[in-house]
Structure 1
Amino acid sequence: MIRIPRLAHLGVFLLLFSVAFPFFGAPEVLWVLFAIPLALVVWVERTRTTVSDKGIDTQTMFKTRHIDWSQVKGLQIPKRGYLKLHLTDETDATLPAVGFDRLGELVVASNGRIPDPFVEPEEEDADAGEEESQE
């Protein structure tokens, strides 16, 4: 399971602390500000990507989705944001909480179904060795 780091709760606590000061000034009106840290706690706890032998389960704050391995066509690595799976029906599915820094965890959890983009294929190494020996 790949999820938002628990250290994010520290940021939510700091936001809660900052929201408290305006609340003490006008409690009748500004009590609504406490909904922001509460929503962030729910987001941190719910957002995750679970990789299993059956497929990939993604869960965001409001949506849950299951993707079978047979539906996965490829992987997209955007410059910013979460990684995306390219599916056989030509759509993309975002993998919540899986950024570029967590790509290694995704490759290991997929048991080889998602290839490691940083490893060169072995065939090219063998072909390169043969060309060098012929010269």
Structure 2
Amino acid sequence: MTQSPHVFTISKLAYFAVPVALLLVLMLMGISVPGFAWTIVVPLALIWWIRRLKTVVDEQGITAVGTFKTVRIPWHDVNGLRFPKWSPVCVVLNDDSSVRLPSVSFNDLPALAKASGGRVPDPFAAEREARLAAD
């Protein structure tokens, strides 16, 4: 049975930044400085960026869609995961290089483990099993 791909995206709360950016742009344009007219593209670029960043996990591997490039990583090239402070999760490849996984955080590991079909271990599974055994 084939499993549909799991897509990790930025939270929809990020779209609240768009009206703030639009308000700032309108304020800059309101002070009647013609040089700031181009800044009207900032809210549109922000929408594009929020929609673009994602990580897709399927049976064949991981696809990391960044701002300007997309990287496809087959499962046989995955060596592990790295969790840099204040950054998205990075997948470590067999050659010790790493690729950032946009929109994936430490809290997404159970969903990542499930979407990977067990190729990525779930660090929270042991705690859940211990709690169920205790009840």
Tell me the TM-score normalised to structure 1 length: 0.82
Aligned to 2:35: 29
Cα deviations by residue, 1:28-64 (Å, 9 ceiling, x for unpaired)? 2211222322221111010000000011011012101
Between the aligned partners of 1:93 and 1:7, the Cα distance in structure 2 is: 25
Between the aligned partners of 1:23 and 1:48, the Cα distance in structure 2 is: 32
Aligned to 2:66: 60
For residues 108-127 of structure 1, the aligned pairs below 5 Å read 108-120=114-126
Cα RMSD over matched residues?
A: 1.7
Between the aligned partners of 1:8 and 1:27, the Cα distance in structure 2 is: 29
Q: Which amino acid is 1:102 matched to?
A: D
Structure 2: unaligned runs, 5 residues or longer: 1-6, 131-135
Could you tell which deviates more after superposition, 10-19 or 41-50?
Answer: 10-19
> Is residue 9 of structure 1 aligned with residue 6 of structure 2?
no
Q: Are the counterparts in 1 of residues 54 and 65 from structure 2 also a CA contact under 8 Å?
A: yes
> Is residue 99 of structure 1 aligned with residue 105 of structure 2?
yes
Q: Are the counterparts in 2 of residues 42 and 61 from structure 1 also a CA contact under 8 Å?
A: no
- How many residue pairs were aligned? 121
For residues 83-98 of structure 1, the aligned pairs below 5 Å read 83-98=89-104
Query: Higher relative CO (CA 8 A, sep ≥ 6), structure 1 or 2?
Result: 2
**Larger Rg belongs to:** 1
Q: Are the counterparts in 1 of residues 110 and 124 from structure 2 also a CA contact under 8 Å?
A: no
CA offset at residue 19 of structure 1?
Answer: 1.5
Cα deviations by residue, 1:62-95 (Å, 9 ceiling, x for unpaired)? 1011000000011112222100111111111110
Q: 2:55 aligns with which of 49, 58, 72?
A: 49
Structure 1: unaligned runs, 5 residues or longer: 126-135
> Is residue 70 of structure 1 aligned with residue 76 of structure 2?
yes
Q: Are the counterparts in 2 of residues 84 and 92 from structure 1 also a CA contact under 8 Å?
A: yes
